[in-house]
Structure 1
Amino acid sequence: MTESNPSISTSRLNTKDSKRYLWWLPLFIAVSPVVGIKLYESTGSAWFAWFTPILWYFFVPLGDFIFGRDDANYSDDLAPKIESDNYYKWLVFLSVPLFFFTWLYAAWWIATQSAGIVDYIGITLGVALTNGLALVVGHELGHKNNRLEKNLAKWVLAVPAYGHFSAEHNRGHHKDVATPDDPASARLGESLYHFVLREIPGAFIRAFHDEAVRLERKGKSSLSPDNQILQSFFITAILYGYALYSWGPILIPFIVISTLWGWQFLSTSNYIEHYGLLRQKQADGRYERTRPEHSWNADFIVSNLVTYHLQRHSDHHARPTRRYQVLRSDNAPELPTGYAGCFTLAYFTPLWRKIMDPKVLSVYDGDITKANLDPSKRAKLIEQYGGNGNG
């Protein structure tokens, strides 16, 4: 359910590869908990145990504020050359072992070296955030059409124990995005916390159902060794099992918190990417094709570098296999800041809604009934914002 994107902005064109060496930033984030541990050991300052959370929740939004927006696109003759440049692909490949290294090093450190509960929690939340970035890498790799990258997606998704993501996202979310049928599309009036409780189990159910259908068409059982979801979870079991065997039950809180908060990273991204946006039904009862206005974009340079241009989300939905380095800015509706800042806004439901509900309303020229509304709040939303009442 995607189409070519007809509304790409051409107001600013890049005629040179201006961000080539800035794409090392996600790799630094991937090992940032280890950097924090080393700084803590060398300085004795417990603040460094919280190095990664401080980076994500403070310095990335600050960077967006200082360095601002980046809505330039590569020119038509340059974009294909950059997309085919293997340098960018290998940067993503390199990140995969770094996530395993960070997870194992942090697990070893908090089990054998941690000075106290504050350090334990800080490092654990740092690994949770790198688990979230591992999901972003799995998203990038899982959309590609070759076996190597799809297999690497299984491996990297094993770190945050979210091996079902590619099946759910590629076959489910991209088909049903911005409709009430999609558990990964947030509804206007829905809090992040309600969304998480709906999205996470919905994603599991849809992924395993779609994988079972795929295997059934091949005459195989859903428990077949060819089940791609179970392959990734098998790697997770080895990773987590090895750590528990080696360093003991002290790691149970680390595993639980870093895994669940890593899932929260993905769910919060999903929450802000399509909040309140709805593909309208056509005369034949089917939803219209996906267009730029069905995704929220955020053209802020620092957070876009950290998330491999995930914030140019509408172009990703238009061309899912397009590589991150050439995803384009277009005329999609814009978030007030990058994902890191929007995460904090989303944690405070009244603040999020105060900012975002009017933005959704403006997309539909004041007719709130055209938005994707939380069914339990539909009547109240229509009364609050007006509308003709015809959903």
Structure 2
Amino acid sequence: MTVDAWRDRRLPLWPLALVVPALPFAGLALSGGPAGPWGWWLAPVVVFGLIPLVDLAFGDDRQNPPEEAVPALQRSPYYRWITYLYLPAQYAALAVTCREWAAGVGPAAGAGLVLTAGIVNGIAINTAHELGHKRERVERWLSRIALAPTGYGHFFVEHNRGHHVRVATPEDPASARLGESFWRFWPRTVAGGLRSAWRLETARLRLRGRSPWTWRNDVLTAWAMTVLLFAALTAVHGWTVLPFLALQAVAGFSLLEAVNYLEHYGLLRQPTGTGRAEKVDPRHSWNSDRLVTNVFLFQLQRHSDHHANPLRRYQTLRTFDVSPRLPAGYATMVVVALVPPLWRRIMDPRVLAHYGGDASLANRDRNFHTPPAARTATG
């Protein structure tokens, strides 16, 4: 197919990513009607219930743009403006949920509000991820703004300069190990990512002869943005909103870490003769070509190409035959990850099959034992 004949079939679908920050407004409307407090559960139901079903119905889309079309796609403002528009919608949703919390809610509505805001701001971390990899200064600043509601601004440092260097190695706190449950992974990656970000930024500043206690410290400035945001919301809504802000932040960055958990589970870059890990390639990330979730997540599921080419914009990311494949999209697999026996039953055989049944080639938890189901699946 020639470049002139090629068209992005998903062109009208990409704005659907903005449905997520619109869900709190739909929840607000429902909560004022017969649904009552349960209206605030709309976002969790849509993201973790409806989207997996629609994903299953529409299946995979493995279309790759021809390389000749990539420069024009990269330059197109249409795709980047969709990511930009997520931010005002995100902040408007946060303002609405804060107002509702401050007005006083019961347990059902309160839990729904926390999850709703957490989902919007957690998925905003993916928007920040897309923006933060770009060279344009405005996009890098927008990335930090998107991270502020979850207090996860250090992700900007750790992901770009830590995770992308150490991915699929035991040294990477964001790469889950074979046999490691999400609930064991969560404290390791949250604490490890924070420590790594601080060390990376401290080392960068000391190379320039500066103390880390400076406004030039990207970790401190990112956290300062969160403090200012939370202070402004507290000034408007009162101290009662602070527990809500803390809870939704935990829900938001936990959603990110659930995605981190499934993206590289058990995958390992093999050591080379020099003692360093082999170069990152498409074998080191779990991929999914589910159409619907890829639209909602700016093709984050084409994670292998992202790690090989982090400057490529989402609309140009490719799928590869050699990449290991998840049995479903991220929206489904995040829910599965919360149930460790189910996760291991589904994923451990796939990791072992990826390595021809040789668990020594995987990134293993120290307590890993090959379960009978996995041994049977790999022969």
TM-score for the superposition, normalised by structure 2: 0.94
* Greater alpha carbon shift after TM alignment, 310-319 vs 91-100: 91-100
1:98-127 deviation per Cα after TM superposition (whole angstroms, max 9, x unaligned): 211111111012211x54221111021110
Output the amino acid matched with 1:247.
H
Q: How does 1:219-238 map to 2 (within 5 A)?
A: 219-238=209-228
Distance in 2 (alpha carbons) for counterparts of 1:137 and 1:224? 27
Match of 1:245 in 2: 235
What secondary structure sits across from 2:169 in the alignment?
A: coil
Contact 2:60-2:289 within 8 A present in 1 as well: yes
* Distance of 2:115 and 2:252 partners within structure 1: 9
* Pair 1:364-2:367 in alignment: no
Which whole-Å deviations, capped at 9, do the CAs of 1:149-169 have from their partners, x for residues lacking one? 111111111121100001100
Aligned counterpart for 1:175 among listed residues 161, 165, 176: 165
Aligned counterpart for 2:260 among listed residues 265, 270, 273: 270
Quote the residue 2:10 is aligned against.
Answer: 19
Q: CA deviation at 1:383?
A: 9.8
Between 1:175-184 and 1:223-232, the stretch displaced more is: 223-232
Alpha-carbon deviation of 1:84?
Answer: 1.3
- Distance across 1 between alignment mates of 2:149 and 2:124: 7
Q: Does 1:67 align with 2:30?
A: no
- After the TM superposition, which parts of structure 1 deviate over 4 Å for at least 4 consecutive aligned residues? 382-386
Indicate the SS of the match to 1:50: helix
The answer to whether residue 119 in structure 2 is matched with residue 129 in structure 1 is yes
Q: CA deviation at 1:44?
A: 4.7
Contact kept in structure 1, 2:345 and 2:374, CA below 8 Å: no
Are residue 119 (structure 1) and residue 139 (structure 2) matched? no
Q: Distance in 2 between matches of 1:367 and 1:381?
A: 10
Residue number in structure 1 paired with 2:46: 55
Query: Within the alignment, does 1:314 sit opposite 2:298 as a pair?
Result: no
Residue of 236, 251, 254 corresponding to 1:261: 251
Conserved 8 A contact 2:114-2:251: no
Structure 2: 5+ residue runs without aligned partners?
A: none
Q: Alpha-carbon deviation of 1:43? A: 4.6
Q: Distance in 2 between matches of 1:344 and 1:44?
A: 24
CA distance change for structure 1 residues 217 and 64 in 2, over 3 Å: closer, same or farther? same
The answer for the alignment partner of 1:97 in structure 2 is 88
Change (3 A) 1:31 1:223: farther
Contact 1:368 1:385 in 2 (8 A): no
Name the amino acid aligned to 2:98: A
1:7 alignment counterpart: none
Residue 352 of structure 1 aligns with which residue?
Answer: 343
Alignment partner for residue 201 of structure 2, among 207, 211, 215? 211
Cα distance in structure 1, aligned partners of 2:317 and 2:26: 30
Stretch moving more, 353-362 or 40-49? 40-49
Contact 2:14/2:295 (8 A) holds in 1: yes
Report which stretch shifted further, 351-360 or 44-53.
44-53
Write the distance in 2 (CA, Å) between the matches of 1:383 and 1:40.
48
1:125 to 1:384, Cα distance in 2 relative to 1, 3 A: closer
Would the aligned equivalents of 1:16 and 1:78 in 2 still touch at CA under 8 Å?
A: no
The aligned amino acid for 2:62 is D
Listed as ranges, the gaps of 5+ residues in structure 1 are 1-9, 387-391
Query: Among 126, 138, 146, which residue is 1:148 paired with?
Result: 138
Partner of 1:389: none
Aligned partner letter, 1:288: E
C-alpha deviation, 1:226, in angstroms? 0.9
The Cα of 1:204 is off from its aligned counterpart by 0.2
What is the alpha-carbon root mean square deviation over aligned residues?
1.8
Structure 2 distance, partners of 1:97, 1:385, is: 46
Question: What are the within-5 Å matches in structure 2 for residues 371-382 of structure 1?
Answer: 371-375=362-366, 377-378=367-368, 380-381=369-370
- 1:68-88 Cα offsets, whole Å, 9 max, x none, are 111111122323222210111
Aligned letter for 1:364? Y
What's the offset of the Cα at 1:250? Answer: 2.5
Shift of 1:91: 1.2
Give distance in 2, aligned partners of 1:48 and 1:194.
Answer: 32
Structure 2 residue 286 is matched with structure 1 residue 300: no
Instruction: Give the secondary structure class of the aligned counterpart of 1:220.
Output: coil
Matched, 1:340 2:331: yes
Q: CA deviation at 1:382?
A: 9.3
| Alignment-derived partner of residue 317 in structure 2 | 327
What percentage of aligned pairs have identical amino acids?
Answer: 39
- Conserved? CA contact 1:17–1:82, under 8 Å: no
State the alpha-carbon separation in 1 of the partners of residues 310 and 177 from structure 2: 23
Q: Are 1:199 and 2:192 an aligned pair? A: no
- 1:32 to 2:23 alignment: yes
- Counterpart CA distance in 1 for 2:252 and 2:105 is 24
In structure 2, the partner of 1:288 is 278
- CA distance 1:44–1:340, shift in 2 (3 Å): closer
Partner residue, 2:154: 164
What is the CA–CA distance in structure 1 between the aligned matches of 2:206 and 2:289, rounded to whole Å?
A: 42
Q: SS in structure 2 opposite 1:73? A: coil
- Partner residue in 2 for 1:78: 69
Counterpart for residue 175 of structure 2 = 185
**How many angstroms apart in 1 are the aligned matches of 2:145 and 2:94?**
13
